[in-house]
Each structure stands twice: as C-alpha cells, then as structure tokens.
Amino acid sequence: QVLIDVPRSDLAKELAQSQTKAQVLQDTLQQALDRREEERRAKQLLELYQEALKNEDSILSKVAASETVPGKEMDEVDTGTSSTGTLAKTALSERILAALKEKPAPELCLDSQDLELVLKEDTQTLSSALQWDKRKAKALKQACNRELSKRLQQVQTLHSLRSMSKGKRTP
C-alpha cells in the first residue's frame, strides 16, 4: 500500500525506472490488493452462508422431528377425548392452555405443532377453555395464524435457498 501511495515520480526515481514503469508497478500492486480484498470478502460471505445453512439444517430437523413424532395432543384430537380438566371439550393440553393464558404473546412461545392445534380449535371452545370472550379468542387465533404463516414462509425460503445453492454447486 505504501508503494501505491508514494508519488509516481519519487518511486520511479528510487527504482531508477521510468514513470511509466512505476505506474505499471503501482497498478499491478493495486490490482493485487484489490484481489486480496475481494477474496477476503468472498470468504466472509461463504462463512456466513455456511452458518446460514447450518442454522437451516437445525431448523429443518426440528420441524421434521415435530412433524414426524405425533405428540399426546394429536392423540387427543384423534380420539376426541381431552385431558385438560376444563369444562370445554378441547384438544389443547394444560401446558398449551397455560401458555395461552399467561404469556403476553403466546403465539411466539408455542411451537408450530401447538400453533396448528390452536388454529384447529373452534373459537367458541377456545374462549370457553380460556374463559375469555370470543373476540379475544378470535384475535389469539389470528395471531397464531400469522405466526405459523411466517414460520412456514421462513422454511420455504430456506428450502428455496438450499435448492438454489445445490444447483450452483454442481458442475
């Protein structure tokens, strides 16, 4: 960088070369520095991309695990029974109901499978189980629907990025 920054006439004089040769030398040095900087940035981008792929794999494995391992709540939906202990017939577990009642933004605390269960629940049954009015229960279902849609969009985006990156990796 010092050789690039020095005045061309001084460099030519020190090297006992013409100013044209000094300019060629400075241009070559600048190109080498630019190439190094470009390689450094490319390496940083690749590291970020690899980290994103690892995060995607982690998220996808969690989503796949939650989809392939049906929980107790799914059995309750299938059999039509409920272990909630509430007067309303609901497929939601005590844990989900507690989160819905106690958390200020329960849709952010529940996993995707639990969000789906909340969405499947009838608004009237949900409001009875939570002892809320219908309007509040409906707003909760809408918030859960938005959150689930956002999560699904993220997974689709990650799938899209993965398929695009796989296409670019093949020769």
66-78 per-position pLDDT tens digit: 655 555 444 444 4
Q: Which CATH superfamily, name and number, covers 94-168? A: C-terminal domain of DFF45/ICAD (DFF-C domain) (1.10.1490.10)
* Domain boundaries of the chain, sorted by first residue: 2-65, 94-168
pLDDT digits (tens, 9 = 90+) for 22-67: 999 999 999 998 899 889 888 888 888 888 877 777 777 666 666 5
Q: Which contacts (CB < 8 Å, 24+ apart) does range 89-97 have?
A: 89/125, 90/121, 90/125, 90/126, 90/128, 90/129, 91/117, 91/120, 91/121, 92/117, 92/118, 92/121, 92/126, 92/129, 97/129, 97/130
**Gap between the Cα atoms of 25 and 9, Å rounded:** 12
The residue-averaged pLDDT of 151-166 equals 83
Calpha distance 163→171 (Å, rounded) = 15
